[in-house]
Amino acid sequence: MPTEEQIREALTSVIDPELRKNIVELGMVRRILRHDDGRVEVTVSLTTAGCPIRAHFQQAVSDSVMALGGVPGVGVDFDVLNDSEKQALQQRLGRGTLPQGALAQVKNVICVGSGKGGVGKSTVTANLAAALQMEGMQAAVMDADVWGYSIPRMLGVHGRPSISRERKIVPLEAVAGVKAISIEFFLDREDQAITWRGPMLHKAIRQFLEDVEWGELDYLLIDLPPGTGDVSMTLAQLLPQARFVIVTTPQPAAQKVAKRAAETALRYDLEISGVVENMSPFRGPNGDRVAIFGEGGGQALADELEVPLLGKVPLQEDLRVGADEGRPLVLSDPDAPAAQALFHTARGVIAATPQELPTMQPPSGPPLREITGTELPMVAPDQTSPKPAEEPQGRADEPPDEQARPAA
């Protein structure tokens, strides 16, 4: 029969996926009881009573203790940290609040990025989400491009999310059951200009992650804005488990720029799952190969980063038309060459990512830093228009653009 010390040691393999530390280190193991018949009872203290990760913790605690051997059964029960315990934990972690478990049931978070704009990140993200869904996975897309959001159009989903009884934002359901959140859903007009930067932006991204009822997901895909700016940094801090997929076009010049995006990911210790080459050569009507953007850049980048080339998506007009009309090509014409390449990519992503509960995925990456800032002007559907932006105008990734300033 294992000793209490051994049991405690075994419980260090159970991870709080949001706080990125094991439950022993977090002081969440309230009590370990060893009965005469060998059965073990563990009480885990949660940060919030309705923690969606409860069932996962139960399984993980039980599995890790059973793995010691010599234990006929494990009972797991839960209580909640009291206010002073919560405060002490917050202080120890250097955070103003403790996460409420919004991402606790998300197995994989994948940021889709590129060095430069217009290479097809959003198109790939939208189709990849739909393809993952067709492969039997529950997928969602978070549109982190608050200035150039395009996910609602590509997934054919518009509207205003409702607020759940737990005061969480309920994502909208798009084609094929893909869940989606985008800044567009919170604007009064579709073409309303977004002028937030800096702290306000951080807060918006954080709310998209923490205040949204994501529920159980196999994949949360994050469509990044072009470049390697503030958004990527905020996400890297909030999502220590996130992986990156880098989209590039085939020409060597694009590959150099894409490498910068990869370097940002690596700087934050985020793993790169692979490269997707988009706008690759296609077969013309006579069967001849047309390589508008050249050839080989995706493979070269993948080799350089020592990651797999997940797919080569050819240029295809129907892919663009489908994206414009909210009908991802993988759904409307799954046999089309670009759709086939995107399915191949989806299967590559599945092969490159763990399918286990986040409670058993070891933490990696740098320590979390507190993120401060202004609340997003998110309103319940029945309320009036959002508060005006309080931040200076311009894109956070770029020096303020004179033309973007309001007329004084």
Ligand X SMILES: Nc1ncnc2c1ncn2[C@@H]1O[C@H](COP(=O)(O)OP(=O)(O)OP(=O)(O)O)[C@@H](O)[C@H]1O
- Residue 377 CA to residue 252 CA, distance in Å, equals 42
Q: Cα 359 to the chain's mean position, in Å?
A: 16
- Residue 3 CA to residue 393 CA, distance in Å, equals 60
- Residue 61 CA to residue 103 CA, distance in Å, equals 19
Q: Cα 353 to the chain's mean position, in Å?
A: 13
Strands 106-113 and 139-143: unpaired
- Give the residue with the Cβ less far from ligand X, 12 or 251: 251
- Give the residue with the Cβ less far from Mg ion, 118 or 159: 118
**338 interacts with ligand X by CB under 6 A:** yes
Q: Give burial (CB, 10 Å; 0-12/13-18/19+) of 145.
A: buried
| Residue 323 site contact among ligand X, Mg ion, none (CB < 5 to 8 Å, cut-off depends on kind) | ligand X
**142 interacts with ligand X by CB under 6 A:** no
Mask: binding to ligand X, 8-47, rule CB under 6 A, as x and -? ----------------------------------------
CB-closest chain residue to ligand X: 117
Number of Cβ within 10 Å of residue 320's Cβ equals 14
Got the DSSP string for 191-241?
Answer: TPPP---HHHHHHHHHHHHHSB---SEEEEEEEPPSSSSHHHHHHHHH-TT
Q: What residue has token string 């022993």?
A: 24
**127 interacts with Mg ion by CB under 5 A:** no
Mask: binding to ligand X, 314-333, rule CB under 6 A, as x and -? -xx--xx--x----------
Spatial neighbors of 198 by CB under 8 A, at least 6 apart, are 230, 373, 391, 392, 396
- Judge contact between 169 and 380, C-beta under 8 A: no
- Give the residue with the Cβ less far from Mg ion, 122 or 182: 122
Shortest Cβ distance from residue 231 to Mg ion (Å)? 12
Q: Which of 28, 302, 313, 349 binds ligand X (CB under 6 A)?
A: 313
CB-closest chain residue to Mg ion: 122
| Residue 52 site contact among ligand X, Mg ion, none (CB < 5 to 8 Å, cut-off depends on kind) | none
Q: Which of 58, 64, 114, 122 binds Mg ion (CB under 5 A)?
A: 122
| Residue 44 site contact among Mg ion, ligand X, none (CB < 5 to 8 Å, cut-off depends on kind) | none
- Residue 361 CA to residue 349 CA, distance in Å, equals 17
- Residue 324 CA to residue 98 CA, distance in Å, equals 40
Query: Applying CB under 6 A, which part among 27-35, 142-150, 156-164, 254-262 lies near ligand X?
Result: 142-150
Shortest Cβ distance from residue 112 to Mg ion (Å)? 9
Shortest Cβ distance from residue 261 to ligand X (Å)? 11
**150 interacts with ligand X by CB under 6 A:** yes
Binding site for Mg ion (CB under 5 A): 121-122
Rule CB under 6 A: which residues touch ligand X?
Answer: 114, 117-123, 145, 148, 150, 226, 278-279, 313, 315-316, 319-320, 323, 338
